[in-house]
Chains A and B, each alone.
Chain A
Amino acid sequence: MFGILDQQFSWLNFTILALAAVALLLVVLLFVMYAIYFERKVIGWMQLRKGPNRTGPWGLFQTVADVLKLLIKEDVVPKKVDRFLFLIAPIISFTPSFMVIAAIPFTENLYFTDINVGLLYYGAISSLSITGILLGGWASNNKYSIMGGMRSVAQMISYEVPLIMSFLGIVLMTGSLNLRDIVHAQIDSGIWFIFPQFIGFVVFLIAGNAELNRTPFDLPEAENELVAGYFVEYSGFRFAFFMLTEYVYTFALSSLMVTLFLGGWDAPFGLTFIPPIVWFALKFLLLVFYLFWARATFPRVKIQQLMEFAWKGLIPVALFNVMLTAVLKTLGIF
């Protein structure tokens, strides 16, 4: 941030960075709280309900109350679980979700690190969360949770492949893995990558949806088959951690999508009087809204269909997109 990482290490720098990280964490937490509120409201309206409207004005404090309740709840650790793994699984799952945010540039100047392999960093770190989920499912010593855990792993590993491949096209076009460079490439050319990379965008949207374990790909926590999936045995703030992971990933993945395909903080139609951070937030909310909308609309797919779709559907399409981009690039069209 502000080039601090490039400077010599000093305690002052360290403190500033730590404070900034805490600030970002708070922003993310605030987002999560209001994302849940937003989700409940949006889905409520779509389903002829009102959504939360009792706690505070328009129910604005509903999630605050929910989180507080989760935090002060008794920390139940069932007797027959693998105690150590059970306790650290939520943390293993959560930490990477927060780490990936560091790589995302929100505006020209607001970003944490400017790593040259930002995209690779995102892909690598985000895969780590699966470990936590599998461990949690395994350590719970519950048949439903192990099935949920296995489903998660199968699903997330399968969908990671098309997800990463879908942005290979962009990497080919810009010749960079640096997220800021990618945004700049879009600003310079004046065309957001959603247009030349439309196939990539669609693949990313679907694979991302699956990666987030959200409807219609919410099998790992398929309530009606597996009760709750990998976190059946979790309660209180450990359960909150898993929930938090999910929503932080929603935050991270939507931000990444804005950066890659929707021109980041770039203002469309020359509407530059609106600050870039607002543009970023608007595009970001649009994607988040899409995810909630899908949840209110679709039934869940079956695990077999899900895997088939990833390997036989998305991956070939993503590969085709990479090839097409490469050909067009060689021909000099891109």
Chain B
Amino acid sequence: MGELRTEEMLLNVGPQHPSTHGVFRLVVKVDGETITECIPVIGYLHRGTEKLAEDLTYTQIIPYTDRLDYLASMLNNYALVQAVEELMDIKVPERAEYIRVIVMELNRIASHLVWWGTGLLDLGAISPFLFAFRDREYIVDMLNEISGGRLTYNYMRVGGVKWDAPAGWVDKVRKFVPYFREKIKEYHTLVTGNEIFVARVKGLGIYDAQTAIDYGLTGPNLRGSNFKYDLRKNAPYSIYDRFEFEIPTGETGDVYDRYMVRMEELEQSLNILEQAVASFPEEGEIMAKVPKVLRGPKDAEVYTRMEASKGELGVHIVSNGKDKPYRLKLRRPSFVNLQILPDILTGRSMADIPPIFGAIDIVLGEVDA
């Protein structure tokens, strides 16, 4: 009998494939079930946000940022208003800062919950998804109450926030913290200790801290490789320097570590929420005094960054003295983090696509902008 003839097969995973969560396409060359080559194809959701922003006033850009990482709109809102505030040197009232931190941390939890639910859905476990969405619903309700939106909040303004926290809202957040602490335990019993889950993600998609830095990875993707880097601590913005919290890191930099980092981040967000709610100012302004028409200074440039749920979200604004930016550049963590995908996917099997891809945690709105 002669040698068995095998052939490599070109497979299009996406743009309409159940595990790509949106319009992401992955062209993979498979030999049997082993991936020999993989090319990510992006851009199906490109809307030209950066270019559009050049024709919009600073306030008008805010709703566009909602649609970048639509799972964490509050954080995107903040990234933009932070840059504009720095550009125009606006001081934000304390109460507004507190509200901002609370909604951002709530939104971070919500974003991680979607990652947790859908990531496990991709591994074939269907229940975690519904558990995650049950608890996310509490957060979405709270954010809805304060901003009027469930997903695209358009809540922050240059100089503060749009609406004050309604009566009793802070109490709701206070009650949510212990409730959710219990639920995290439930998540761990359901998933983290599961033999099959551990077998599927341990030792998968390993890269060390140096590789992660070379690729420009940030957020849990970097911290999973045992590198302590979190802008909330390393370059504190807003009022994050007032709170005590840990930066969780992983050991080996595999998918399991990235999973554990995110799970631990849920706890840390709760810690921040707890402290923020405890020291929440009773009264105060929610908007700084800002001119009716916001004009940037002439020939000024500003780059600010913040820790979004996916990594470092940076905003670069070039102003030429008009009420619109001359150029707006967004450093989108999902887009940067995605670069490492071919590197860690090549040589693995088809069945490893969902866990590896899921652990990077991207949102296509942010990748394609």
- Measured CB to CB, the residues of A under 8 A from B are 43, 46-49, 143-144, 147, 215-216, 218-219, 222-227, 295-305
Contact = CB atoms under 8 A, between A and B. Distances in A.
Given A216-B196, A224-B354, A225-B354, A300 B33 contact: no
B300 interface: no
Nearest to A146: B9
Nearest to A305: B199
A315 B25 CA distance: 40
Nearest to B118: A224
Nearest to A303: B351
A225 B126 contact: no
Given A223-B19, A224-B354, A295-B126, 6 more contacts: A144-B11, A301-B200, A302-B199, A303-B33, A303-B351, A305-B199
B18 interface: yes
B351 A302 contact: yes
Interface in B327-365: 349-354
B134 interface: yes
B349 A216 contact: no
B272 interface: no
Nearest to B358: A224
Contacts of B200: 299, 301-302, 305
Contacts of B280: none
B347 to A, nearest CB: 13
B7 to A, nearest CB: 11
B352 A218 contact: no
Contacts of A218: 124
A76 B191 CA distance: 40
Nearest to B121: A224
Contacts of A49: 130
Interface in B120-170: 120-127, 130-131, 134
Nearest to A47: B130
B9 A300 contact: no
A250 to B, nearest CB: 18
B122 A224 contact: yes
A296 to B, nearest CB: 5
A302 B130 CA distance: 23
Interface string B91-123: 000000000000000000000000000001111
A285 B85 CA distance: 64
Contacts, number: 79
5 contacts: A48-B134, A147-B33, A216-B196, A219-B351, A302-B352
Given A147-B33, A298-B194, A303 B349 contact: yes
Describe A's contact surface by its main secondary structure: helix
B122 A304 contact: no
Which of A215, A297, A302 has the most chain B CB atoms inside 10 A of its CB? A302
Nearest to A298: B196
A189 to B, nearest CB: 35
A224 B124 contact: yes
Contacts of B122: 224
A47 B194 contact: no
A227 B12 CA distance: 12
B350 A47 contact: no
B358 to A, nearest CB: 9
A219 B352 CA distance: 12
Contact of B196 (A147, A227, A301): A301
A47 B354 CA distance: 22
A153 to B, nearest CB: 14
Contact of A227 (B18, B127, B352): B18
Please list the 7 inter-chain residue pairs (A to B) with the smallest Cβ-Cβ separation, ordered nearest first. A300-B124, A224-B19, A299-B125, A299-B123, A47-B130, A224-B122, A302-B351
A47 B126 contact: yes
B126 A43 contact: yes
B19 A225 contact: yes
A47 B134 CA distance: 9
B350 A299 contact: no
Nearest to B190: A297
A198 B134 CA distance: 39
Nearest to A215: B124
B181 interface: no
A49 B191 CA distance: 19
Interface in B16-53: 17-19, 33
Contacts of A298: 124-125, 194, 196
A143 B9 contact: yes
Contacts of A223: 18-19, 124
B70 interface: no
A191 to B, nearest CB: 31
B180 interface: no
B197 interface: yes
A144 B191 CA distance: 28
A228 to B, nearest CB: 9
Contacts of B11: 143-144
A226 B9 CA distance: 14
A302 B123 CA distance: 9
Contacts of B33: 147, 303
A284 B191 CA distance: 29
A223 B126 CA distance: 11
Nearest to A222: B124
Which of B9, B122, B123 has the most chain A CB atoms inside 10 A of its CB? B123
B193 to A, nearest CB: 12
A301 B196 CA distance: 6
Nearest to A226: B350
A219 B33 CA distance: 13
A43 B122 CA distance: 18
Given A48-B134, A216-B124, A300-B123, A224 B349 contact: no
B18 to A, nearest CB: 5
Which of B9, B196, B200 has the most chain A CB atoms inside 10 A of its CB? B196
A227 B124 contact: no
A144 B9 CA distance: 11
Given A143-B9, A305-B200, A299 B124 contact: yes
A144 B354 CA distance: 15
B218 to A, nearest CB: 26
A47 B127 contact: yes
Contact of B17 (A143, A227, A301): A227
